[in-house]
Amino acid sequence: MAPPPVPAPPDGSAFLAWLRTARPEAPPGVWRFGHRERGAEEPERIPARQLWSGALIAFLVGWLIWSLLWNGYLGGWWLLPLFAMIPDSWVKPHSFTAVVVVYAYYTLVALIIMVGVGRLGRWNEIWRRYGPPSWRRTTPLQPPPQVSGEDPAEWPALRAAGVVDAAERLAADARAGLMRDVDHARITRAWQGVRSGRHSLGTFAGAVLKDGAAACPHPSGARDLPFRQARHDLLTGQVRIGTAADDARNPYAYRGAGLALGPELLGTSLLAVGPAGSGKTGSLIRPLTESLCLHALAGRAAVVVVGAAGAGIGPAESYDVVVRIGSPDSVYDLDLYGGTTDPDEAAAVLAEALVGDLADPHPGSDSRRSTTVLAQLLGPFRAVHGRFPSVPELRQLLDGAPGPLAALRQGLTETGQESLLRELDARERQMGHPGDVGGILADRVALLDRPAFAPFFDTSGQSRPFSLKALDHPVRVRIDLPERGHADASRILARLVLAQFTASVTVREDRSLFACLVLDDAAGVVTPEAVRGIQKLRSAGAGVVLTLRTLDDVPRPLRGPLLGATGCRMALSGLTPWDGQDFAEVWGKEWTEARDVTDRQIIAETPAGKAAHMLRRVITGKAPTARAVTVRQVERERWSASELAHAVPPGHAVLSLTTVKGEHAPPLLVDLRG
């Protein structure tokens, strides 16, 4: 019996081809993997009928000139160069040499005539537009351009630093098919830590020599996601979301190019608005969460994804922490106070979550009164019990139940906390005033004090609470909100996560780790304090991604500040005209060239003129006219509200981009299905 066939050794050619593909510099948002740059301005395009007519007439003119020369109607002057160059011995009758030389001269003259009339008739344009070059452009598979210079698969940076053995080990693993794009990105991130001084060179080199492509692993041990749906390029950090449409409203350099997002764009935050079914989750949120999870596995990012249970924001296997609020199967809990031990900080975050939507919606307002009320209770409670109150305990304190307040007062008296006793006295005095916000806070806390949430928000240390203070590490988190039957509680929790996120990422020491919060439905989340927090994220190496079904979910005074705080804005198909008006205002206007054309038909009076007009009609397809053109500069909206509401096809969106460095991309019509 023959032995079983030996399996073929792994091949790293696919990975090496990906690594060596050129990624030229491109405008913001362009998919750089194998990108081929186009001109900044569109070349003038001649109508097809006029182009073919001109080419045919040029051919007939060339044929006429050759016929006149060949038949001697123009004399024999064109043969003088021939007679001047050849010797007399070659002019013998029936000489083979003479025949060859003469016909070669005829061919040369014919070629000169053909080149001349070809340039006049634009034959080269016909060749580019309808010949083999156009067939090659429509071929779906083209080899991407390869990078020139040093081979990135040989790790030249490590060799230049003297770590040759580590570079050889990594190059061998790449050739053997043992390295993936996540491995390359993760090891590159670790090498950046060595260059910045966070890690030692010896530790890095030892880990690479020991584990090769598996060195410097993510805490979860995972080296990739279970599966991917989008196209990712971890070398540039981009994820492809669509293709810029070949539309006259798009700049010529963007038309037909792939559109992609990365940390350099998400660092300015992104707002996407579109009705249900327009593709927010499937075409935008899912690719972005995949990309951010891959960045987390590479040690580059920390991501928190918040959405309704079953919203399709990725499988649980793609995350390190999955918090299913309201589900008894949830392994993790959510820290109601964000992991802080400061009562004032905890009160500010909790007040924003509970009553942030009830504050005056104008940008200058805040919820300071609610923060003061909560601080008057959280500080004394923590001083007595060493922890913050649970949801039922906080509800009793806000309701002014005499038993818990008396026990709290007794504990403060026994420990001699005079300053905190004054805080508690002030809280008890304010309870009797008609304008006290304690009752409103108690009503909001009651939304979380439900039987479905009884195992959650535990402060006794018996559960595994997740705190957003953990965003100092490359962690992947998914939080499922219980929207069914608990819509108001879900909005409170979404505001809580956003408030904790903005409070924690702005005080991180290592801001090279990109932190991103993805909110799959931000209805009821946008408050004046939330807008102020989003404005601070760009300098903190963080960003948020918000989706809305309509801008009506945001208070009218906050729509302009929200659109101004986010650097990337997306309007999907199906937008209402009043939502489109807000986008049109924030995208502004541009100067365009308006051409007013006046045509006056020319009437021929002579037979020759009528014949010339008839020939002109055949060539151009139009009646002879005298044209007057007036050119003027006018200022028009980049995208009007009517165009956003009615001219965006299904599966498309209009997207404007801004990088953290301040580079801008104008509003682009993007095919999200491409």
The predicted pLDDT at position 92 comes to: 59
How far is residue 585's CA from residue 362's CA, in Å, rounded to a whole number? Answer: 19
Q: What is the mean pLDDT of residues 85-95?
A: 65
Query: What digits encode the pLDDT tens for the residues 197-229?
Result: 888 999 999 999 999 999 999 999 999 999 899
DSSP string across 130-178? HSHHHHHHT-S--PPPBP-SS-GGG-HHHHHTT-HHHHHHHHHHHHTT-
For residue 127, how many C-alpha atoms fall within 13 Å in the half-sphere facing its CB? 6
DSSP string across 427-438? HHHHTTSTT-SH
* Region of 609 on the Ramachandran plot (φ > 0 left; ψ -120 to 50 alpha; else beta): alpha
Dihedral of CA atoms 491, 496, 499, 500 in degrees, nearest 10, equals: -150
Q: Which of 346, 360, 414 is nearest to 384 (CA)?
A: 414
Q: Which residue has the higher pLDDT, 151 or 494?
A: 494
The predicted pLDDT at position 138 comes to: 47
Query: What digits encode the pLDDT tens for the residues 110-137?
Result: 898 888 888 888 888 878 877 777 665 4
Instruction: Confirm if 566 and 271 have CB atoms less than 8 A apart.
Output: yes
Q: Is 191 exposed, middle or buried (0-12, 13-18, 19+ CB in 10 A)?
A: buried
Cβ neighbours, 10 Å, residue 496? 27
Q: Which of 656, 636, 649, 663 is nearest to 245 (CA)?
A: 649
Q: Which of 483, 203, 539 is nearest to 327 (CA)?
A: 483
Which two three-digit tokens encode residue 623? 């009646």
The predicted pLDDT at position 642 comes to: 93
Q: Residue 655 above 90 pLDDT?
A: yes
How far is residue 498's CA from residue 519's CA, in Å, rounded to a whole number? Answer: 9
Q: Are strands 301-308 and 514-519 parallel, antiparallel or unpaired?
A: parallel
How far is residue 486's CA from residue 489's CA, in Å, rounded to a whole number? Answer: 5
Q: Are strands 465-466 and 333-334 parallel, antiparallel or unpaired?
A: parallel
Least confident window among 185-199, 240-254, 302-316, 597-611: 597-611
Label residue 140 by pLDDT band (50, 70, 90): very low
Query: What digits encode the pLDDT tens for the residues 23-64?
Result: 999 999 999 998 888 766 655 666 777 778 888 888 888 888
Q: What is the mean pLDDT of residues 385-391?
A: 91
Instruction: Name the average pLDDT for the chain.
Output: 86
Q: Residue 4 above 50 pLDDT?
A: no
Label residue 93 by pLDDT band (50, 70, 90): low
Q: What is the mean pLDDT of residues 556-571?
A: 94
Q: Is 121 exposed, middle or buried (0-12, 13-18, 19+ CB in 10 A)?
A: buried
For residue 536, how many C-alpha atoms fall within 13 Å in the half-sphere facing its CB? 15
Percent of the chain residues topping a pLDDT of 70 = 92
Q: Residue 380 above 80 pLDDT?
A: yes
Label residue 394 by pLDDT band (50, 70, 90): very high
Label residue 149 by pLDDT band (50, 70, 90): low
The predicted pLDDT at position 674 comes to: 67
Which two three-digit tokens encode residue 527? 């408050």
Report the DSSP beta bridge partners of residue 569. Answer: 271, 656
Q: Residue 139 above 70 pLDDT?
A: no
Q: Residue 71 above 60 pLDDT?
A: yes
Query: What digits encode the pLDDT tens for the residues 448-492?
Result: 999 888 888 888 878 888 999 889 999 999 999 987 778 899 999
Q: Residue 530 above 90 pLDDT?
A: yes
DSSP string across 596-649? EEEEEEPPP-SHHHHHHHHHHHHHHSS--EEEEEEEEEEEEESS-HHHHHHSS-
The predicted pLDDT at position 89 comes to: 66
Label residue 12 by pLDDT band (50, 70, 90): confident
Least confident window among 273-277, 457-461, 531-535, 613-617: 613-617
Q: Which residue has the higher pLDDT, 507 or 141?
A: 507
338: helix, strand or coil: coil
Q: Which residues of 416-452 are buried (b: 16+ CB within 10 A; e: fewer)?
A: ebeebbebbeebeebeeeeebbbeebbebbebbbeee
The predicted pLDDT at position 8 comes to: 41
Q: Which of 205, 382, 199 is nearest to 393 (CA)?
A: 382
pTM score, two decimals? Answer: 0.83
